[in-house]
Structure 1
Amino acid sequence: MTPFCTRLDLAHPIVQAPMAGVAHGDLAAAVSAAGGLGMLGVRGDASTDWVAEQAAIAARGGRFGVGLLLWSLGDGALLGHVLEHGPALVSLSFGDPAPYVSRVHDAGALVASQVQTVAAARQALDAGVDVLVAQGTEAGGHTGSIATLPLLQQVLPLGAQAGVPVLAAGGIATGRAVAGVLTMGADAAWIGTRFAATREAAFSAGAKDRILAAESTDTVLTHVFDLVQEADWPAQFPGRALRNRLTDRWHGREEALADDLPDVQEQFRDAVARDDRDVAHVYAGQASGLVQDLPAAAEVLTALMDEAATSLQRVAALLGDTGAGGHLSR
C-alpha cells in the first residue's frame, strides 16, 4: 500500500476527482464505501445548506474529501463551512494555496493541490501542501497544457525530495492506466471522467449519454463555456469539454462571441433546461473514448483494481525474467 493510502486508510489507490456539478454526496459516498476516496466538488457559490447536505451524504461512505477552487475562495468563508464537516482531504487548486493551508491543517485535514506545471508544483510545496496532484491536459474540466506523462515525470522527483506523495490525474480510465502511474511512482490515481459516467454521478442523462457516445478526439480545450456563463476562471485554465455546436461556432472566435453574448447566453440557458448537450456543456476528458457503459461507481472501482492487479503482475513477471546485466530477456 502506498503512503498516501496508508495515511488516509484507503483500501485502494483511487481518488474520485471533485468534479463540480458532478461529484455530489452520492458519488463520493459510493467511492469511499468501496475503498477509494470519494470527493465532493464544491463551487464557489455553493450555499452553506448545500455543503452541509452533501457532506452528510458523503460521510455515509466513510472518510471523504472536498475540492475547492482557489480563485473563488475570497475571504475563505466557504472553506470554513467545508471544514466544519470534517473532510479528510481538502483539494485547493487553480491558484496559490498558501493563504489557506494552515486553516485546513488546524482543522485536522490534509491539503492536496492539483498542479499543471512544475512552477505550480513548487508553489504548492512552498505553501506546505501534503499531496500534489499532477493534472495533465487530458483531464476533463479546467486544466493546463502539459500531458499527464511528461508532467508526472517532472513532478514526481519534486514530491520525493519534499517527502510529499504525488497523485496522477488526466486520461486515466482503465486499470492498465492505474497500474502505469503506480509503476511510475504515483501514490494513487485521481480519476474524473470514468466516474462521471456512473449511476451515482450528478451529471444529467444527456451529459452521460454524450460521454458514452464520444471518442477521445471529440474534446476541445476552450474558454467558450466560461465566457457564456461569465465564470471568472483564470485565463491559464481553459476547460476541456466535449465539442458541440456552441464550441464549433465560437471556439477561436471569442471576441465575436462577446458581441453576441446575450443571445448566446439565452440559447445556452434554454439548452441547459432541456438537457440539450449539443449546446449546453459537458466537461469531460480524452478518456471519454474509453467509457462504454454506465455502471455503479463501486463496480468501476472494482474493475479498475482487478485490471491494475493483472497489469502489475505482468510487470513483476517481466522484471523477474531478466538476464545478465538486468536487461529483459528476449
Structure 2
Amino acid sequence: MSFSPASDDLCGRLGLTQPIFNAPMAGAAGGRLAAAVSSAGGLGMVGIGGGVATDWLQRELALAASSGKPWGAGLMAWVLSESLEPLRVVLEHRPNLVGISFGDPSAAASMARDAGALVAMQVGNHADLQRALEDDIDVVVVRGSEGGGHGRNEVATLPLLQLALDQTEKPVLAAGGIATARGVAAVLAAGAQGAWIGTRFAACTESTSPARAKEAIAGAGTDDTVYTRAFDIAQQVPWPAEFGGRALRNQFSDRWADDLEALQAEVASAPRITEAIDAARRDADVAQAPVYAGQSAGITHGGETAAEVVADLAGFRAHLRASASRW
C-alpha cells in the first residue's frame, strides 16, 4: 500500500510513495539494496565508509541509480575532512539526498547543495541538533541510542525526536529501534516525516552483509547488543572517540568492551589482535568480528527481500487508523 505525501513535505519533494529510508550502512547498504528500496517506493541509500576504492564506489553508485527512482548516499564527515573526493564521485551520479554525519558537515554540505542534492545529518544529542540547525542542514535525522552501527549512546529515539520537532520546522526523520510497521507509525504520529531503518535492512537479501552476520542478527534478542569502541580500537579504525558502535555481543566484545585501556595497550604493543580481528572479518567469524546491529535485532527475522520489508513497513497506516479510532 502506498501513501500520498503532501507535495511540500520531504517524501513529496523526493517523489517517494513510502516514508521509508534505508540507513546508509557501510558494509551492508550497497547499490543493490539501495535500488531495491527505491524501487519499492522508499529511498534507498548507499553507505560509504573510509578508504573505499573508486571502482567499487562507481559500481555501487551506478547500481543505486539504475532503479530510475530517487536514491541517496551517506558519508562520514570525519572521512571527508581529509578529502572531499569520495563526495565528488558521489555527486557525479546525481543522488537526491546526501547524508553527511559524524563530524563537521559544513564544507561537504555546501558542495552537495551546490550539486542540487538535499543534505541530511544524523544527530545523537542536543549539541548535534544545534550544529545541524546552525549549518542549515536540509533534513535532520535523529538517531537514538538504540540504533545499530556508529553513533552516540546518549539519548533514546523518542526523547530526541520530540526535542528536534519542538526546535525546527525542517523535515525530521527518526532512526534507532524502528523495525516494524508499528515503529514507523509511532514516529510518524509524533511528527517525523519518515523512518530511517538500518538493522532490518542489514538482514535482508540484498544487503552486502555476510550470510553469517545476517543469521546472527535474525537470531539475536533485543538485549543481545553492546555499545563499544572495542572493535574500532582493535581494527585501528580512526573513528572520533565520541562515536562508538552498537553491535551484537560476541566473544570479542565480552572480553574487551569493559577493558578498553588494556585493549589499547595490547594493540599498541603488538599486531596480534588487529591481525586476528581483520582475519575474523574476512572469514565472517561472528564470534570475533563486529556485527553492527541495533536493539531492533530482537524483532528482525531475516530472509526477506527489501521489497518485502518495505511492503510490511507500509502497514503503518493501519496502525495509525486503529490508534486514531480509539480516541
Q: Same fold (TM over 0.5)?
A: yes
Is 1:24–1:41's contact at 8 Å kept on the other side of the alignment?
Answer: yes
How far residue 75 of structure 1 moved from its aligned partner, in angstroms, is 3.1
Residue matched to 1:275: 284
Residue matched to 2:312: 303
Is 1:220–1:243's contact at 8 Å kept on the other side of the alignment?
Answer: yes
- Out of 244, 248, 260, the residue aligned to residue 266 of structure 2 is 260
Q: Secondary structure at the match of 1:201?
A: coil
1:47 maps to amino acid: A
For residues 25-63 of structure 1, give each alpha carbon's deviation from its aligned partner in whole angstroms, at most 9, with x where no partner exists. Answer: 100000000000000001121122111110111112222
1:297 maps to amino acid: A
- Out of 175, 182, 186, the residue aligned to residue 180 of structure 1 is 186
- Out of 131, 139, 145, the residue aligned to residue 147 of structure 2 is 139
Q: Distance in 1 between matches of 2:134 and 2:42?
A: 28
Residue matched to 1:54: 60
How far residue 259 of structure 1 moved from its aligned partner, in angstroms, is 2.7
How far residue 175 of structure 1 moved from its aligned partner, in angstroms, is 0.2
1:155 and 2:164 aligned? yes
Q: Distance in 1 between matches of 2:177 and 2:220?
A: 14
Is 1:195–1:297's contact at 8 Å kept on the other side of the alignment?
Answer: yes
1:165 and 2:167 aligned? no
Q: Secondary structure at the match of 1:211?
A: helix
How far residue 72 of structure 1 moved from its aligned partner, in angstroms, is 0.7
1:236 and 2:254 aligned? no
Q: Distance in 2 between matches of 1:114 and 1:272?
A: 26
Q: Secondary structure at the match of 1:217?
A: coil
Mark the runs of 5 or more structure 2 residues left unpaired by the alignment: none
Please identify, of 101-110 and 268-277, the stretch whose mean Cα deviation from structure 2 is larger: 268-277
- Out of 248, 255, 261, the residue aligned to residue 249 of structure 1 is 255
Q: Secondary structure at the match of 2:247?
A: strand
Residue matched to 1:323: none
How far residue 309 of structure 1 moved from its aligned partner, in angstroms, is 1.4
Q: Distance in 2 between matches of 1:282 and 1:8?
A: 31
Is 1:132–1:159's contact at 8 Å kept on the other side of the alignment?
Answer: no
1:203 and 2:183 aligned? no
Larger Rg over CA atoms: 1
- Out of 11, 14, 20, the residue aligned to residue 20 of structure 2 is 14
Q: Secondary structure at the match of 2:106?
A: coil
Q: Distance in 2 between matches of 1:213 and 1:303?
A: 20
Query: TM-score w.r.t. structure 1 length?
Result: 0.93
Residue matched to 1:64: 71
Computed over aligned residues only, the root mean square deviation of the Cα atoms, in angstroms, reads 1.0
Residue matched to 1:294: 303
Is 1:155–1:166's contact at 8 Å kept on the other side of the alignment?
Answer: yes
Q: Distance in 1 between matches of 2:278 and 2:110?
A: 39
Q: Secondary structure at the match of 2:168?
A: helix
For residues 254-275 of structure 1, give each alpha carbon's deviation from its aligned partner in whole angstroms, at most 9, with x where no partner exists. Answer: 1111232222122212222322
1:255 maps to amino acid: E
Residue matched to 1:325: none
Residue matched to 1:87: 95
For residues 214-263 of structure 1, give each alpha carbon's deviation from its aligned partner in whole angstroms, at most 9, with x where no partner exists. Answer: 00101000000100111111111110000111010011211111232222
Residue matched to 2:44: 38
Is 1:115–1:132's contact at 8 Å kept on the other side of the alignment?
Answer: yes
Is 1:44–1:78's contact at 8 Å kept on the other side of the alignment?
Answer: no
User: What is the number of residues matched between the two proteins?
Assistant: 315
Q: Distance in 1 between matches of 2:83 and 2:273?
A: 32
Q: Distance in 2 between matches of 1:21 and 1:293?
A: 17
Mark the runs of 5 or more structure 1 residues left unpaired by the alignment: 320-330
1:121 and 2:129 aligned? yes
For residues 104-145 of structure 1, give each alpha carbon's deviation from its aligned partner in whole angstroms, at most 9, with x where no partner exists. Answer: 111010000000012111111111211000000000001212
Matches within 5 A, 1:303-322: 303-306=312-315, 308-319=316-327
Is 1:101–1:128's contact at 8 Å kept on the other side of the alignment?
Answer: no
How far residue 199 of structure 1 moved from its aligned partner, in angstroms, is 0.4
Identity, % of aligned positions? 49
Q: Secondary structure at the match of 2:240?
A: coil
